[in-house]
Amino acid sequence: MMVCTSVPHESAPLHVTGRAPYTDDIPEPAGTLHAALGLSPLAHGRLIGIDLERLRAQPGVVAVLTADDVPAENNIGPLAHDDPILAHGELRYLGQPVFAVIATTRDAARRAAALAPQVIQAEALPARLNALEAHAAGEYVVPPMHLARGDAATALARAPLRLQGEWQLGGQEQFYLEGQISFAMPQEGGTALLLHCSTQHPSEMQQLVAHALGWGSHRVSVQCRRMGGGFGGKESQSAAFACVASIAALRLGHPVKLRVDRDDDFLITGRRHPFHYRWDVGFDAEGRVLGVEVDLISNAGHSADLSAPVMARALCHFDNAYWLPNLSLHGYSARTHTQSNTAFRGFGGPQGALAIEMILDSIARRLGLDPLLVRERNFYAQGRDITPYGQRVEELHAQSLAARLAHSSQYAERRAEIAAFNARSPVLKRGIAFTPVKFGISFNVAFLNQAGALVHVYADGSVLVNHGGTEMGQGINTKVAQVVAHELGVPLSSVRCSATDTAKVANTSATAASTGADLNGKAAQAAAQVIKARLTSLASEKLGSARVSFVNGVVHGNGRNMPFSELVRLAYLRRIQLWSDGFYTTPGLSWDKDKLQGHPFYYYAWGGAVVEAVVDRLTGETRILQADLLHDVGASLNPAIDIGQIEGGFVQGLGWLTSEELVWDSSGRLRTHAPSTYKIPTANDCPPKLKVELFGAANSADTIHRSKAVGEPPLLLAFAGLLAIKDACAACGPVGCDPPLSAPATPEAVLRAIDSVAG
Ligand code: MTE
Ligand code: LUZ
Ligand code: MOS
């Protein structure tokens, strides 16, 4: 059994010894040049000119490129063609790339690019930085989206109880440890191109580079061995760097590397969408939601990027684990003069689901009920199991998950103990919360749910696998190698995954939506099955048995056996094809993207968290004391890797909701653009008591070995951290108060919330 086993990450020894090569570690051929980007100093403006002579005169500078030097299409917009590689005519945000300097060293290129404010001539125009202002002006990057079921207006009017509110939630920087980087190498005298790119989406980089060059995709190969993290930030937004490096390399006939530093990465690229909500909910005295209407306003930044599917996922995750009979949701993706916001772990799902969790918390406080009880009363259940977008929830795991977690975390006992503590503690106040997770697995754009793989069995019996997924630390190559080893019955040590390469598997989807192992695992399994079928015929003949089995490098049949490598050698001599491709598409998906109805998800991943926090009511400081996580990964392909994903996703979610704050000044300059001012969680922010358990039920959908995707859903477990802090804030005010705690719950936000309830 190579699956369902906690084998270490295939690169673990390389990671911990610092020998794992990333794009910047690829040896530079002689003549390699370096690029740096000159950035817009204005949030909005009309570009009049650039003093190119001054830039060209700088030491080490070989060339300066502008939008006019893009050979064909000046666009990196992944869905709408609305995002220039280099600014043309209009400056749309402070930090937008306007020109590229190519120099003999990276330092020289950066020094010249830093002259941008002096060499860019532009006329300032009024900038819109605030999503609510854009919403008021009807300025959107994509048309508004509506998801409705039943009759929310009537349900609200008739509900015995009603609450209205407004709430806001901040964005989040991906903060991949390896920044954005591309290294372009002209091939064949400049008639072809090899691009090494840190990207979750090699095929899209290939396509966008080809479009920019006016070439067919067959002349561009994109490779990515590994990323030092992506988290959604390299799904579309690796493209600017890929295109600039490629255009420069072909123009100059030299390899060109473009690696941005952290500050520029923050200023150029977008991140998780901040959201603003206006809600109106009607409910009964037991806390059951009868009707709910919500405006969800996201700040999309200056272009569409992936804002439409992000909003669609937000709307399709507002229900989280709850049956909402009458609902009306309106999603507005506001256009502002800021970085274009993009994918980030959860892809709008967290922004949708957290809204209903805040609403349920307010309902519970209004009624004086335990929030866990109110949540349980609203769970999807038999007969109340159709989502607002029309998909039936087949596995109803919320009840058993909540019950098991409440028991294992001693929720009720600890709530009583916390109340007693708070009664005798004037300064430190503690709080506890439970939140569930239901996360839909599949790209919400149906055609993206496809994958391919190529499996080579060499004549010595060793196996090389290539698939369309990319490795960003999440362990996809380990899982896919496990699947192939299992299928061929060989030890894991004889299987290896090689770098993702558009020349090997074509037309791949981004490694995103948590589907990497689901899709590519199935594709690689299919390829291995083809080879195994061919080998089985030969083994039957050699062992004289109709039934043969492949186990750990040995082929058995009829009480006899032979080494796998011997069988392969004989197959080669017989001229049997020892390699195969494999292809997979997720079955049963349908989606009407205009009506937001259908069956967009193959299945759901479930989870639950009980988190306890303490707040200092004088300073607003908070600490997470304990977290009990129970998460559903189906029948895990690799429990150790999955637990790592759960811990990482949870702590990353805590960072988003507690310490990571983005601040733009009134000129539109992002002031939090480095770890000095932008606080991601560190090992010290990991709760001192952190317990992770796997739910353990096999997936009822026919996924790879009945496993479930794990990449994104655990991030939503962190909701319980925010709500535990809110619970502690409530302990500072009168019984039944509802502190207006916004996220991130920084000390300032915590103090504001406490002040408004404690007077
Ligand atoms: N884990 C690590 N270590 N690094 C990452 O960049 N990205 C997350 C998640 N886990 C990420 C990660 C995101 S946003 C996604 S969509 C999934 O991994 C993608 O990989 P998978 O589909 O293979 O799970
Ligand atoms: N949909 C989705 C998408 O659910 N997740 C994604 O990452 C994505 N990316 C592009 C388009 N749709
Ligand atoms: Mo993950 S946000 O789907 O890259």
Atom of ligand 3 nearest to the CA of 343: 2
DSSP track, 235-263? TSTTHHHHHHHHHHHHHHTS-EEEE--HH
Segment 619-643 shows an average pLDDT of 98
pLDDT at residue 1 greater than cutoff 80: no
Supply the pLDDT for residue 154: 98
Q: How far is CA 16 from the centre of its chain?
A: 24
In this model, does residue 136 exceed pLDDT 90? yes
pTM score of the predicted model: 0.98
pLDDT tens column, 564-581: 999 999 999 999 999 999
The ligand 1 atom nearest the CA atom of 232: 14
**Residue 306 CB–ligand 2 contact under 6 Å:** yes
CATH number of 364-443+602-758: 3.30.365.10
Per-residue model confidence (pLDDT) at position 2: 80
Which residues make beta-bridge pairs with 582?
453
Ligand 1: lining residues by beta carbon, under 6 Å: 229-232, 345, 469, 472-474, 476, 511-517, 645, 648, 709, 711-712
Alpha-carbon distance of 281 to 568, in angstroms, equals: 65
Residues in the chain: 759
Q: Do domains 12-126+174-268 and 364-443+602-758 have the same CATH topology?
A: no
Hunting for tokens 């830093």 — which residue is that?
114
**Residues whose CB is less than 8 angstroms from the CB of residue 559 and which lie 6 or more positions away in sequence, other chains included:** none
Render pLDDT for 610-627 as a digit per residue (tens, 0 to 9). Answer: 999 999 999 999 999 999
Catalytic (active-site) positions: 712
pLDDT at 299: 98
- Choosing from 237, 269, 345 the residue with most ligand 3 atoms within 8 A of its CB, the one to mutate for a pocket test is 345
Ligand nearest to the CA of 645: 1
Which atom in ligand 1 lies closest to the alpha carbon of residue 469? 23
Measured CA to CA, the distance from residue 122 to residue 101 in angstroms comes to: 19
* 244 CB-near residues (< 8 Å, 6+ apart): 35, 37, 65, 85, 86, 97, 100, 182, 258
> What pLDDT is stored for residue 357 in this prediction?
98
C-alpha 367: how far from chain center: 36
Domain boundaries of the chain, sorted by first residue: 12-126+174-268, 364-443+602-758, 450-585
Q: Assess whether the C-beta atom of 343 lies below 6 angstroms from ligand 2.
A: yes
Atom of ligand 3 nearest to the CA of 232: 4
- For atom 17 of ligand 1, the residue with the nearest CA is 711
- Maximal C-alpha separation, the chain: 86
Which whole-number Å values give the CA distances from 676 to 634, 679, 680, 698, in the listed order?
40, 7, 10, 44
User: Residues 594, 283, 166, 276: what is their CA dihedral angle, to the nearest 10 degrees?
Assistant: -30
Query: How many CA atoms are closer than 13 Å to the CA of 179, on its beta-carbon side?
Result: 16
Q: What single DSSP character describes residue 590?
A: E
Portion of the chain with pLDDT greater than 70, in percent: 100
Ligand 1 pocket test, pick from 177, 178, 313, 472 with the greatest ligand atom count within 8 Å of Cβ, gives 472
Tell me the ligand closest to 346's alpha carbon. Answer: 3
State in Å: Cα 474 to ligand 1 middle.
5
**Distance between alpha carbon 446 and the CA centroid of its chain, in Å?**
18
Residue 189 in 3-state DSSP? helix
- Nearest bound ligand to the CA of residue 514: 1
Q: Which residues line ligand 3 (CB under 6 A)?
A: 200, 232, 235, 343-345, 347, 512-513, 712
What architecture (CATH level 2) is domain 12-126+174-268? Alpha-Beta Complex (3.90)
Residue whose token pair is 């150790």: 640
CATH-assigned architecture of domain 450-585: 2-Layer Sandwich (3.30)
CB 316 within 8 A of CB 444: yes
Q: How far apart are the first and last CA of the chain?
A: 62
- Residue ranges of the alpha helices (H) in 425-515? 476-488
Residues 408-448: pLDDT tens digits?
Answer: 999 999 999 999 999 999 999 999 999 999 999 999 999 99
For ligand 1, mutation pick of 9, 271, 478, 514 (most atoms within 8 Å of CB): 514
Structure tokens that stand for 288 in this block:
């059951």
